[in-house]
Chain A
Amino acid sequence: MHGLINRAIQSFVCATYGWSCWQRATEKANLGFVEFEPMLIYDADVSTRVLDALCAELSRSQSEFLEDLGTYLVSHPNMEGLRRLLRFGGVTYVEFLHSLDDLSDRARLAVSDLDLPVLELREQSSTEYTLRCSPGLPGYSSVMTGVLRAMADDYGALVMLSNDEGLGANDVISIILVESAFSEGRRFDLGARAQ
């Protein structure tokens, strides 16, 4: 698994639950090290062990934990760079949803060995969408649910999301757009570089 993904988990846990929680989990998972390097590749098994250890430590289900991770990736000040990259997807939330079809290609454009599952948006009506997540990265649809929720806030849209994880080969997230301009949302200035 790519170090960036492992590092995202580490960053989320340290920012939300503290360094000592992260340290305990790495010990419990028998990692043999404490910090993930974002630009190295790790065995998938390593990520599974640390996730299991974290969910046990925090007494939370994996899908809840991963959804919070997704929210963190967009909304936490640590992650401003990633939020900006996602905002390049479109001017409105609906445009952003459509840009998710290209997300795995976009990720590869930035980091050539970062392989994210393909996402496919289907438009049922102008207010109802489904996002199909290809297999390959267990829990990805939970993370994406968190990302979609936080991005809705970012664009100022009001949405209802449900994640039908594990039904059939693909995980499917249903998205109901209640109001596209519910609140002001956060500013996105093309020229302001993330620090």
Chain B
Amino acid sequence: MTPMSDLVELLETLCPMFVIVDETGQIQSVGHTLQKLRPDQPMAQRNFLDIFELIRPKSVTTVSGLMVASCGRLQLRFRDEPRTTLKGLVAPLRNRSGAVINLSFGISILDAVRDYALTSADFSGADLAIELLYLVEAKSAAMEASRSLNLRLQGAMLEAEEQAYTDTLTGLKNRRAMDHMLDQLIQSQSSFALMHLDLDFFKSVNDRLGHAAGDHVLQQAARIMMEETRSEDTVARIGGDEFVLIFKGLKDRKTLTGIAERLIARLREPIAFDNTECIISASIGTALSTQFKTQEWAKVLNAADQALYEAKKNGRSRHVFYEEPAKAN
């Protein structure tokens, strides 16, 4: 047995994707796994660089040049299809001219295993290829499980948001909560008063000082409304600067007028924001459920809306009760 065939046998066991080239680059011997990638084109006796195109180092064009370049590390790919990329390491042979080049798939292993129908037997026992394939499949399965959990959680979150009753900016109730509250009042045939409150000059604060100032004003206005109402009353923000206040069981106009006037007075006070002052005020329209024979809250809301319109028309910063057409005449 010649020393050369000894070496070939050794390499077949340790790294079955090896190539032995002579100093001109002609392939002397090739590992069985590497040959399996081109089963119909025996690589022996062909030139290494006719089969493989060098990606790195780019400047080198001869095999002898390879042996000195970049510590022998190579990046290359097949010249014909499938153009699998390979990593390589060149080790010059000391006693004769030529070199051993050991190739491996690197990250292209996933496609390579499929493209070339490789099996465990094609890899050396010390190769981590099988572990890598295992890991990719295991991680994909785990990721898939996580992804589907995320999708379900996202769906649940959207649903929860939809069902939520709170206006996140001010902490007041939102329109949905107001609808729900009014439904309940109608169902239990309770009487109630409904104030529709609109902030005056809010748009100009927003335009002049920006959204942060606008948000701050809304939060302060919300705080004032909470302070001026009882805990059993409902305060809801139903639009940008529109609020609805519901007073269950309250029908005394004097009391309601008092609340409305206090609200207007406090909302006229300048609100400090970032060394400047924001000036707003409020217009309020109030309607009583007892003003209607049929129990339909949309009518009460609409009536309060009309009264609010009156208040605005009469110069803002005012409170107006809804008056039934019959009485008005």
Q: Tell me which of B121, B138, B145 contacts A39 (CB under 8 A).
A: B145
Q: How large is the interface on B (under 10, 10 to 19, 20 to 34, 35 or more residues)?
A: 20 to 34
Pair A88/B130 contact, Cβ less than 8 Å: yes
Is A169 among interface residues, defined by CB-CB distance under 8 A? no
Q: Mark A19-47, 1 if CB is under 8 A from B, else 0.
A: 00000000000000000011110000000
Q: How far is the CB of A93 from chain B (nearest CB, A)?
A: 14
Q: How far is the CA of A111 from the CA of B139 in the complex (A)?
A: 8
Selected from A81, A84, A190, the residue in CB contact (under 8 A) with B118 is A190
Using A38-B149, A40-B149 as known contacts, say yes or no to A109 and B138 having CB atoms under 8 A apart: yes
Cα of A189 to Cα of B141 in the assembled complex, Å: 17
Check B145–A38 contact: CB distance below 8 A.
yes
Q: Is A49 an interface residue (CB 8 A)?
A: no
Determine whether B314 belongs to the interface, using a CB cutoff of 8 Å to chain A. no
A111 contacts which chain B residues (CB < 8 A)? 138, 142
Give the nearest-CB partner of B140 in chain A. A193
Chain B residues with CB below 8 A from A90, complex form = 120
Which residue of the partner chain B has the closest CB to A7?
A: B145
B137 touches A84 (CB 8 A): yes
Contact between A4 and B145 (Cβ–Cβ < 8 Å)? yes
B117 within 8 A of partner (CB)? yes
Q: Is the CB of B117 within 8 A of A85?
A: no
The A54-110 residues at the B interface (CB cut-off 8 A) are: 81-82, 84-85, 88, 90-91, 106, 109-110
28 contacts between A and B (CB under 8 A): A4-B145, A37-B149, A39-B145, A39-B149, A81-B137, A84-B137, A85-B134, A85-B137, A85-B141, A90-B120, A91-B119, A91-B120, A106-B134, A106-B138, A109-B138, A110-B135, A110-B138, A110-B139, A111-B138, A111-B142, A190-B113, A190-B118, A190-B119, A190-B120, A191-B115, A191-B118, A193-B140, A194-B141
